[in-house]
């Protein structure tokens, strides 16, 4: 009798649970349908390309050539068009300077960033950390990591065959950031540091794979998968490492001798700057805020410079006349010296123009997202309500023929002082724009100059015609099949 009652109770419990799941599922569906109705109405005045009944535009966006597909849509729909990932996630995709200005000149909610007063407080605290006096000694750090990579390339070049540069550039960029953030590079990493190093690389790859996979978009489902569990484990490793380093550095700062050692180092690392940052009231960042800022700097700084440097070297291989001219300028600046000084960076005029033109054609972050915190009215009178989602398609903006004549042509003179003077400030935004632009953009530009100058001084770069890169939109602009180049070592001081 007791077993029968227990069986009935379990059966009723199962029915209740099933009913509750159905009700919750129904409420979730109602919420999604209401959200879709809101987004559809918001973008009602913006015509766009036809959508798939289930995937929206996601299927086309996942295919090879999706970046250039958006460029073709930009010709058909000037200013902006709706972009749907599935049936319930819709963005207004913009690629026109005035539209970008209307949205990005006044903030809003960004993905992976803080909101409102907290963001503003952190920005004020961190800005002095990227002052040129602080950045000045990093030139040596950039050169140290780059020369280690170039020594590896000397060995690879002896095999007389092309190789993928993307992975090596990524390793060098992460090594540089470890030195600039924590004061230690790959050669001086402990076991714990090495785990962190691997976790950062893992997280970058896992985030990119998650964006590609439709079934991983739901947080609950994602956490149940092996992929999701691996992501959470890597997050834990990264957070534990940063927390431990913060604790150790704080303890060291309480010791006067250690404090003196830190002050006498040839450069302050990013963590030193964060620990010393205070607002007008003397309030410091909490440990949680410190970890968030360090993680942001590591993840955003590593991938973007990897992409920027790799595609620049591809452009140099593709346009040997510009490669030759950059090399001549570099050799002229260096003379008989082996290493660059801070003052040299300002003299790299042609190299800087070539870097900017490669960032125009191959922006490291081709697409960024924002949620409007207030309604916006665009220059043509069309409006969007608060809560609307915006996709700024930087790749399409940088190839917008209404803004850039002959946009597919590699022309560094677009960035000569006279040509820059008359250009819309939101026409070229490789580091985003407005109040939330990349705080580390000066750091990134300096790193790109030092790294690319050293690369061009040591090697001549040529294409592998059998392995042209296939552009792939992930978190960053990368290549589906790597970036394979032929490298020929050059003699010391060669202006070849």
Handedness of CA 132, 355, 108, 285 (dihedral sign): negative
Q: Which residues contact 109 (CB under 8 A, 6 or more apart)?
A: 115, 370, 371, 373
Within-domain flag for 255: yes
Residue 472: strand pairing partners: 478
Q: How many domains does the chain have?
A: 1
Q: Output the domain CATH number for residue 163.
A: 1.10.630.10
Give the pair of three-digit tokens for residue 209: 């794979």
Q: Which residues contact 129 (CB under 8 A, 6 or more apart)?
A: 270, 273, 274, 277
**pTM of the predicted model as reported, rounded to 2 decimal places:** 0.85
Give the pair of three-digit tokens for residue 5: 């009652």
* CB 305, CB 447: distance < 8 Å: yes
SS3 category, 335: coil
pLDDT of the residue at 435: 40
Within-domain flag for 290: yes
Within-domain flag for 51: no
Pairing type for strands 89-94 and 389-393 reads parallel
pLDDT of the residue at 1: 56
SS3 category, 125: helix
Angstrom distance (rounded) from CA 365 to CA 362: 9
pLDDT of the residue at 212: 61
For the CA atoms of 313, 317, 320, 322, what is the dihedral angle to 10 degrees? -20
pLDDT of the residue at 364: 93
Domain extent for 215: 62-489
Spatial CA neighbour of 455 closest among 200, 173, 160: 173
Within-domain flag for 317: yes
pLDDT of the residue at 138: 84
Give me the half-sphere count of Cα atoms (radius 13 Å) on the Cβ side of residue 18.
Answer: 6
Pairing type for strands 89-94 and 376-377 reads unpaired
H/E stretch holding 85 reads: strand 80-85
Per-residue pLDDT of the chain (496 residues; tens, 9 = 90+): 556 555 656 677 777 878 888 888 788 778 778 888 888 888 999 999 999 888 888 777 777 678 999 999 999 999 999 999 888 889 999 999 999 999 987 654 443 343 444 544 454 555 555 555 666 778 888 999 999 999 999 999 999 999 999 999 988 998 888 888 777 655 555 566 668 778 877 887 787 677 667 678 778 788 889 999 999 999 898 888 888 878 877 777 776 655 666 555 556 677 777 777 666 666 777 888 778 777 777 777 778 899 999 999 999 999 999 999 999 999 999 988 888 998 999 999 999 999 999 999 999 989 888 889 899 999 999 999 999 999 999 999 999 999 999 999 999 999 999 999 989 999 999 976 544 444 567 888 999 999 999 999 999 999 999 999 999 887 789 999 999 999 999 976 555 5
Within-domain flag for 481: yes
Pairing type for strands 109-110 and 477-479 reads unpaired
Within-domain flag for 278: yes
**For 164, phi and psi rounded to 5 degrees?**
-80, 120
Tell me how long the chain is. 496
The DSSP 8-state label assigned to residue 190 in this structure reads -
Asked if residue 455 belongs to a known ligand binding site, the reply is no
Within-domain flag for 8: no
pLDDT of the residue at 13: 74
Within-domain flag for 471: yes
pLDDT of the residue at 388: 92
pLDDT of the residue at 111: 38
């Amino acid at each position: 009798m007791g077993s029968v009652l227990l069986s009935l109770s379990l059966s009723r419990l199962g029915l209740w649970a099933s009913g509750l799941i159905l009700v919750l599922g129904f409420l979730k569906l109602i919420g999604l349908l209401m959200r879709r109705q809101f987004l559809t109405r918001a973008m009602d005045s913006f015509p766009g390309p036809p959508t798939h009944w289930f995937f929206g535009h996601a299927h086309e966006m996942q295919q090879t050539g999706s970046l250039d597909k958006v460029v073709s849509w930009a010709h058909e729909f000037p200013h902006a068009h709706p972009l749907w990932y599935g049936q319930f996630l819709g963005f207004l995709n913009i690629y026109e300077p005035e539209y970008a200005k209307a949205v990005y000149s006044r903030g809003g909610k960004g993905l992976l960033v803080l909101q409102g007063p907290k963001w503003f407080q952190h920005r004020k605290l961190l800005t002095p950390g990227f002052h040129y006096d602080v950045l000045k000694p990093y030139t040596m750090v950039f050169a140290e990591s780059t020369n280690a990579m170039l020594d590896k390339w000397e060995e690879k070049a002896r095999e007389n065959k092309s190789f993928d540069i993307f992975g090596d550039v990524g390793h060098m960029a992460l090594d540089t950031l470890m030195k600039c953030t924590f004061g230690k590079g790959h050669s001086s990493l402990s076991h714990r540091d090495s785990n962190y190093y691997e976790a950062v690389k893992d997280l970058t790859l896992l985030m990119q794979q998650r964006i590609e996979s439709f079934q991983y978009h739901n947080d609950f489902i994602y956490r149940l998968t092996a992929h999701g569990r691996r992501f959470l484990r890597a997050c834990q490793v990264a957070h534990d490492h940063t927390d431990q380093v913060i604790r150790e550095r704080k303890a060291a700062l309480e010791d006067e001798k250690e404090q003196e050692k830190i002050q006498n180092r040839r450069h302050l690392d990013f963590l030193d700057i964060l620990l010393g940052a205070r607002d007008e009231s003397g309030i410091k960042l909490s440990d949680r805020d410190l970890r968030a800022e360090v993680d942001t700097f590591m993840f955003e700084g590593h991938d973007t410079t990897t992409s920027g440097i790799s595609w620049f070297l591809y452009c140099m291989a593709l346009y040997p006349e510009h490669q030759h001219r950059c090399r001549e300028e570099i050799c002229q600046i260096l003379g008989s010296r082996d290493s660059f000084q801070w003052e040299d960076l300002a003299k790299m005029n042609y190299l800087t123009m070539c870097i900017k033109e490669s960032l125009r054609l191959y922006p490291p972050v081709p697409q960024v997202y924002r949620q409007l915190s207030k309604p916006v009215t665009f220059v043509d009178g069309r409006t969007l309500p608060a809560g609307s989602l915006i996709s700024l398609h930087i790749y399409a903006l940088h190839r917008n023929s209404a803004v850039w004549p002959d946009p597919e042509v590699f022309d560094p003179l677009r960035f000569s002082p006279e040509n820059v003077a008359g250009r819309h400030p939101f026409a070229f935004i490789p580091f985003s724009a407005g109040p939330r632009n990349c705080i580390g953009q000066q750091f990134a530009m300096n790193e790109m100059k030092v790294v690319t100058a050293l690369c061009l001084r040591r090697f001549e770069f040529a294409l592998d015609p059998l392995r042209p890169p296939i552009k792939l939109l992930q978190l960053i602009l990368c290549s589906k099949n790597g970036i394979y180049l032929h490298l020929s070592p050059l003699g010391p001081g060669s202006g070849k």
